[in-house]
Chains A and B, each alone.
Chain A
Amino acid sequence: MDLYEYQGKQFFARFGIPVSAGDVARTPDEAVAIGERVGYPVVVKAQVQVGGRGKAGGIKLANDATEVRTHATNILGMDIKGHTVHIVWVERASDIAEEYYASFTLDRSAKKHLGMLSAQGGVEIEAVAEKDPDAIAKIWIDPVEGLTEAAARSWVGAAKLNPAAVDGTVDILQKLYRAYTEGDADLVEINPLILKPTGEVHALDAKVTLDGNSTFRHGDYEQYDETQVRDEREKQAHAKGLQYVGLEGSVGVIANGAGLAMSTVDIVNQVGGKPANFLDIGGGSNATVMAGALEVINNDPNVRSIFINIFGGITKGEEVANGIVQALQNVQIDAPIVIRLDGTNAEQGREILQPHLSDKLQMAPDMISAARLAVQLAAR
Chain B
Amino acid sequence: MSIFVDENTKVVYQGLTGSQGRYYGLLNRAYGTQVVAGTNPKKAGEDIEGIPIFASVADAVRETGANASCIFIPAPGVRDAVLEAAEGGVEFIACITEGVPAHDEAWFFNKLKRDFPKVRLLGPNCPGIISPGKCNIGITAGHIAKPGGPVGIVSRSGTLTYQALYELQQKGIGVTTCVGIGGDPVPGTSFIDCLEAFEADPETKAVMMIGEIGGTAEEEAAAFIKANMSKPVACYVAGVTAPAGKKMGHAGAIVSGGKGTAAAKMEALRDAGALVGNNPTEAGELMAGIVAKL
Contacts and interface: CB of A to CB of B under 8 A. Distances in A.
Interface string B160-202: 1111001000000000000000010110000000000000000
Contact of B163 (A108, A261, A311): A311
Contacts of B157: 257-260, 262
B159 A259 contact: yes
Interface stretch (A3-11, A29-37, A168-176, A265-273): A265-273
B75 A255 contact: no
Interface residues of A, number: 50
A344 B249 contact: no
B102 A213 contact: yes
A344 B257 contact: no
Contacts of B214: 108
A89 B196 CA distance: 53
Contacts of A113: 106
Contact of B252 (A108, A142, A255, A260): A108
A270 B279 contact: yes
A99 B110 CA distance: 34
Contact of B216 (A109, A217, A255, A368): A109
B144 interface: yes
Contacts of A367: 279-281
Contact of B103 (A109, A143, A258, A259): A143
> In terms of DSSP, what is the predominant structure of the interface of chain A?
mixed
Interface string A19-55: 0000000000000000000000000000000000000
B156 A259 contact: yes
Contacts, number: 170
B268 to A, nearest CB: 13
Contact of A216 (B76, B143, B186): B76
Nearest to B24: A314
A260 B155 CA distance: 12
B240 A255 contact: no
Interface in A201-216: 211-214, 216
- Interface centre among A111, A186, A262, A314, by most chain B C-beta atoms within 10 angstroms, is A262
Contacts of A211: 101-103, 251
B100 interface: yes
B103 A368 contact: no
B141 A186 contact: no
Contact of B253 (A126, A184, A262, A366): A262
Contacts of B161: 259
Given A143-B106, A214-B103, A262 B27 contact: no
B103 A260 contact: no
A259 B106 contact: no
Contacts of A217: 76, 101
Contact of A313 (B141, B258, B281): B141
B158 interface: yes
Given A186-B102, A270-B279, A262 B257 contact: no
A105 to B, nearest CB: 10
A280 B111 CA distance: 33
A3 to B, nearest CB: 15
A261 B249 CA distance: 9
A216 B243 CA distance: 28
A328 interface: no
24 contacts: A106-B186, A108-B186, A108-B214, A142-B110, A142-B114, A181-B103, A216-B76, A217-B76, A245-B246, A258-B158, A258-B253, A259-B183, A260-B157, A260-B159, A262-B238, A262-B239, A265-B241, A266-B240, A266-B262, A266-B278, A270-B279, A283-B158, A313-B140, A313-B141
8 cross-chain pairs, A with B, having the tightest CB-CB distances, nearest first? A259-B157, A257-B159, A258-B249, A259-B160, A260-B159, A262-B238, A214-B101, A313-B141
